Structure 1
Amino acid sequence: MSGSAGPSADAGSVPDMSRVEVIAPNFKQRLSGVTSTIVQLVPLQASTVGIATLGPGLPAGLPKLRWWQLPSLWRRPASGRKRIWHARRNVEMIGGIFLKHVLRMPLHLVFTSAAQRDHRPFTKWLIRRMEAVIATNVRSGSFLDVPHTVVMHGVDLEAFHPARTADDTFAASGLPGKYAVGCFGRVRAQKGTDLFVDAMIALLPGHPDWTAVITGRVTAEHQNFADELKRRIAAAGLEKRILFLGEVPDIKAWYRRVSLYVAPSRNEGFGLTPLEAMASATPVVASDAGAYAEMIVEGRTGSVAAAGDGVALTAAIGRYLDNPEMARVHGEEGLVQARACFRLEREAAAIENVYETVWARGG
């Protein structure tokens, strides 16, 4: 671990460039999984390494470089080591290559890849110019043509935790039923929201104690998709038992309120929601998209179905609706798994090990 302290995370401060050894660029304004990763990791990393973000779309409280500080990258930090530019998107790799090879700034380039597809030739060209590559899971790593280190994402066990108060119970929501099954995230076909709705239409008539809860934003381009789902629900007479809550103020409480979480995505880069559910002592039924199959222990912390297979997904969910006690036991097992294997601190330490390797190799 590096011994240097991180720059102040005070919203109004300007990071001291002599102490910044790692830059985490975020060149996308809109919230995404990558943005969420940066938001969670950087404050933790800042306790052991001098790190700062660069770019829009991040909370003001993070240590953040101003654009006018970029010329400072020509000078090395006080440690004498080259700074690490840790990119997570193509545009950020391009930025790092430009700064290093065109402007001749003393930088090391590191890239984290979450994609689960064959990379395009240009992306492969960019990746080959990185000095270290991290894959967020084994499956993502299988699409890389360069040496890499697998570092699974972690979850903040302080933020996501089992029920502690009465407000954490489903009864506190005021919704009908004794148990709830949840599906959280953006409402769209890629996320498999329709597969979840179809499963609920098939299952809920035979399980009167259960209510289905869907949270997340519906963007304009997916409004017709959401409206069609609501029409299906209305036709089944289940408007009061399959509920769209929109964007809720605190999603963390809902992970604690539901007795089963479903992640039915057709495709994912990684997908953090099952980890957030497991940390909340909630079992998970998921597709095998993203890294879901690498998180869930089949028959112990949840169940995995083939992505896009609505029949298999419905069957897996049905087993939990039939047996709420099994859901409780598997939720407890998921919490044990999250604490043992998916702590956010573990992810931060593994990334810093990659940094140390790059520094040692680079002199």
Structure 2
Amino acid sequence: METSGEVATEMGSGIAPGSVVDISDIEVIAPNFKKRLSGVTSTIVQLIPVQRAKGQKIAVLGPGLPSHLPHIRYADLPALWSPPSGRRARVWHARRNIEMLPGLFMRDVLRMPLKLLFTSAAQRTHSAWTRFLISKMDAVVATSARSGSYLKMPYKVVHHGVDLDLFRPSGPSDPSSPADGFGKHLIGCFGRVRHQKGTDLFVRALIELLPSYPEWTGVVCGRVTPDNKVFGDALKADVAMSGLTDRILFMGEVDDIKPWYRRLSLYVAPSRNEGFGLTPLEAMASGTAVVASDAGAYSEMIVEGETGSVVPAGDYTALRDALRTYFENPALARQQGWSGREHVRVAFAIEKEANNLAEIYETLLETRP
């Protein structure tokens, strides 16, 4: 699941003393057993503070999470034999196989009073091992209808949401954008630079289109991992050969992606394959129109012709033609950008995600193990 967290979220590996909470008061545990930053980790980082603000008694467990989140320690786990006051169990909310497995061990072997919840974002047929683990869950959430279609048991769709205070259009008091000198109209593609994300499709389209549209500039923000260095270098070489090195810019990782969203006239998410993918929502929340492939949950986020456009994944011609529509009519991009902000506010605010999960937690907490 690609998110802006993969571009700009600063993660901490330690736990500040003040962030450790009393497990006796915790009703929901959100384990994170993958230290390396991922879309799942970014979801936890953004969602937990909202859940806590809404009164949910939730804490995280595991490495790679910032110290401002409420943590419990591994040494606290024996306390799980005693449910919190007024409850018959706790909820163990897993998002990966490595988090489902210890939940099963604690519930079924150690006989701890736990209810197991799994969130699935994958859009592929699960392995036999994953299917087995999922079958043992007490409840399952799918982040999109497409993700749910790969599950073999009942599930509830809970879309991810975005923080509308963090991701918002530019305001008069905002400092200068880091891209203010990049031309009148900026088109961007954010996330790790690799084939799966379709970065090559984006660059190829710009190489073909930009010579005819001098007011537009393209920007790629995101990390090139060592295993994708050849891929990234080839893209830069293609840009150099086209003579567009001053109009197709590779920025690498940036410290804060939010001002870049605000500066864009159009955001592009050309993934060939995706889990959920938050970047189109972050762009729309920032008042920016979006062209995206139909990978992941993108087609469930975008209202065709109102907040942007969706094209078949991997279809270069469809992507290029969709971009040309906005290059020829920047006013359309502005109009759809404002419509996108309202669409996200109604359907994809992070508070809605927190509320939907709270209902599931409450159902599990009220059920006798």
TM-score tier after normalising by the smaller chain length: over 0.9
Aligned twin of 1:205: 211
Aligned twin of 1:83: 90
Shift in Å at residue 357 of structure 1?
1.5
Runs of 4 or more above 6 Å deviation = none
Is the CA contact (8 Å cut-off) linking 2:19 and 2:69 kept in structure 1? no
Matching of residues 345-356 of structure 1 within 5 Å: 345-356=351-362
* Alpha-carbon distance between aligned partners in 1 of 2:240 and 2:202, rounded to the nearest angstrom: 15
Q: Which amino acid aligns with 2:287?
A: A
Is the CA contact (8 Å cut-off) linking 2:189 and 2:269 kept in structure 1? yes
Aligned twin of 1:276: 282
1:228 paired with 2:195, answer: no
Answer 1 or 2: higher relative contact order, Cα 8 Å, separation at least 6.
Answer: 2
Match of 1:124 among 120, 123, 131: 131
Paired residue secondary structure (2:112): coil
* Alpha-carbon distance between aligned partners in 1 of 2:173 and 2:327, rounded to the nearest angstrom: 23
Q: Which amino acid aligns with 1:122?
A: W
Distance 1:19 1:66, change over 3 A: same
Paired residue secondary structure (1:361): coil
* Alpha-carbon distance between aligned partners in 2 of 1:206 and 1:166, rounded to the nearest angstrom: 34
Structure 1 unpaired stretches of 5+: 1-8
Paired residue secondary structure (1:46): helix
Shift in Å at residue 249 of structure 1?
1.3
1:139 paired with 2:146, answer: yes
Structure 2 unpaired stretches of 5+: 1-14
Match of 1:163 among 164, 170, 177: 170
Is the CA contact (8 Å cut-off) linking 1:185 and 1:217 kept in structure 2? yes
* Alpha-carbon distance between aligned partners in 2 of 1:355 and 1:166, rounded to the nearest angstrom: 40
Distance 1:317 1:168, change over 3 A: farther
Q: Which amino acid aligns with 1:118?
A: T
Match of 1:71 among 75, 78, 88: 78
Q: Between Structure 1 and Structure 2, how many residues are aligned?
A: 354
1:33 paired with 2:39, answer: yes
* Alpha-carbon distance between aligned partners in 2 of 1:116 and 1:346, rounded to the nearest angstrom: 23
Aligned twin of 1:181: 187
* Alpha-carbon distance between aligned partners in 1 of 2:182 and 2:90, rounded to the nearest angstrom: 55
1:312 paired with 2:318, answer: yes
Distance 1:205 1:22, change over 3 A: same
Shift in Å at residue 165 of structure 1?
3.4
Aligned twin of 2:297: 291
Q: Which amino acid aligns with 2:226?
A: A
Aligned twin of 2:252: 246
CA offset digits 1:201-230 (Å, max 9, x no partner): 011011100000100111111111100000
* Alpha-carbon distance between aligned partners in 2 of 1:275 and 1:11, rounded to the nearest angstrom: 34
Is the CA contact (8 Å cut-off) linking 2:83 and 2:90 kept in structure 1? yes
Paired residue secondary structure (1:245): strand
* Alpha-carbon distance between aligned partners in 1 of 2:51 and 2:80, rounded to the nearest angstrom: 20
* Alpha-carbon distance between aligned partners in 2 of 1:210 and 1:11, rounded to the nearest angstrom: 49
Measured on the aligned residues, the alpha-carbon RMSD in Å equals: 1.4
Aligned twin of 1:49: 56
Distance 1:211 1:168, change over 3 A: farther
Is the CA contact (8 Å cut-off) linking 2:19 and 2:67 kept in structure 1? no
Q: Which amino acid aligns with 1:127?
A: I
Shift in Å at residue 168 of structure 1?
6.4
CA offset digits 1:117-173 (Å, max 9, x no partner): 111111111111000000001110111110010001111001000111375676x62
* Alpha-carbon distance between aligned partners in 2 of 1:173 and 1:181, rounded to the nearest angstrom: 11
Aligned twin of 2:119: 112
Distance 1:169 1:289, change over 3 A: farther
Is the CA contact (8 Å cut-off) linking 2:88 and 2:366 kept in structure 1? no
* Alpha-carbon distance between aligned partners in 2 of 1:177 and 1:154, rounded to the nearest angstrom: 31
Aligned twin of 1:193: 199
Is the CA contact (8 Å cut-off) linking 1:10 and 1:63 kept in structure 2? no
* Alpha-carbon distance between aligned partners in 2 of 1:193 and 1:228, rounded to the nearest angstrom: 11
TM-score, normalising length: structure 2 = 0.93
Q: Which amino acid aligns with 2:127?
A: R
* Alpha-carbon distance between aligned partners in 2 of 1:168 and 1:200, rounded to the nearest angstrom: 28
Shift in Å at residue 80 of structure 1?
3.0
